[in-house]
Amino acid sequence: MLQDELIPHGTRRQIDGKWRVFYDGYWVKCYEVPADTLQAKKQLIEALTRRLFNHVEHGINIPGTRLAEARRAYETEANPQRKRVKAAMLAGSLFNRAADVFTKLVELQAIGAEIRCDNALMQQCGEHLQEALLLGREVLHRSGEEGIDELWGEPFKAFAYPIEEFYRSRYVKIAATMKAIDRIAHELVVTFGELPMFAGIDAAIAELAKTAKRKSEILRTDPDIFDIWSDFSVTAEAVAGFVPELSPSPSTVEREAALQGRQLIQRGKDLIFYVTRARVPMPKSTRDFVESCEEYRTGYLGRFAASRALAIGIRQGARA
């Protein structure tokens, strides 16, 4: 680790035949940057917008053609809860309108029209993305636990900055995602790794974290996606399917500790899954999960240890 601390951020190196870039303690797989053209930006924004809608709450993918309706519905809504949802719907419509405008600009450029940065439609596209980014703070992840502001900023970055700069920011974000995965996995191991009833779960969690980090760095167009996604899915299933081994005559407290432990492990697996697929950290969800692990360690495990000690004492007294 001390050696890694001396490596400048952004250092590129070929490792095991793959090019990687170093950020925040992690070597992230990197890809060739496409040419910085309107066509490339259009394709990137479309891909980022599809990815965004795939990770946020349902019902906000409103067509750009309904932008005026979406804005009117948002501006006239008085109920705070309904207004939040309508803000999300307006943000979705703004993103789709920006993509529609960009598509037409690329079509015009394809027939020889010169599209300058100060073009009125280019400016309108940027304004739509900027407004959507602000409204995106109201949108929740599909889990319902928190927002993921970083995803709302990606299409705007792809529009406003050179593509090479966008890719650099992507690698920084993936390194942060890997760190979040390691933190969640560490909390699971600390909580369950040394408990006899969960023997073997630490190895399963370590394998899940390893495959999750590989999944977080790879593009869907990469030929390795078939093996990497399969490995990630299989390791996630192994963690979710883990069954605690109870004593021959388990007490009520032991059964409860096993049940609550399995539910907490499932929750941790789900959180790693969400973070990995979105490729952004989820700090609020992670903090809540860490608190739940701490409560489990001080609550259920304390009661279980006391119950087990009492049972041992009773057995020893009976033998005496």
The string of DSSP letters for 226-241 reads: HHHHHHHHHHHHHHHT
Instruction: Identify the residue with better confidence: 1 or 153.
Output: 153
* pLDDT for residue 3: 55
Residue 288 has pLDDT above 90, yes or no: yes
Question: Would you say residue 266 has pLDDT above 60?
Answer: yes
Q: How far apart are CA 302 and CA 312, in angstroms?
A: 15
User: Residue 307 — very low, low, confident or very high, per pLDDT cuts 50/70/90?
Assistant: low
Interatomic CA distance for residues 137 and 84, integer angstroms: 10
Does residue 26 carry a pLDDT above 90?
A: yes
What contacts 298, CB < 8 A, 6 or more positions away?
none
pLDDT tens, position by position, 30-53: 999 888 888 888 888 888 888 888
Exposure class string for 180-199: b at 16+ Cβ within 10 A, else e: bbbbbbebbbebbbebebbe
The pLDDT tens digits for 272-287 are: 999 999 898 999 899 9
CA separation, residue 103 to residues 122, 125, 187, 283 (Å): 11, 11, 45, 35
Mean predicted lDDT score pLDDT of the chain? 87
Q: Which residues contact 120 (CB under 8 A, 6 or more apart)?
A: none
- What pTM value is reported for the model? 0.81
Lowest mean pLDDT among 3-17, 172-186, 216-230, 273-287: 3-17
Q: From edge to edge, which strands make up the β-sheet containing 18-23?
A: 12-15, 18-23, 26-29
Read off the pLDDT band of 301 (50, 70, 90).
Answer: low
pLDDT one-digit tens code per residue, 49-69: 888 888 888 899 999 999 999
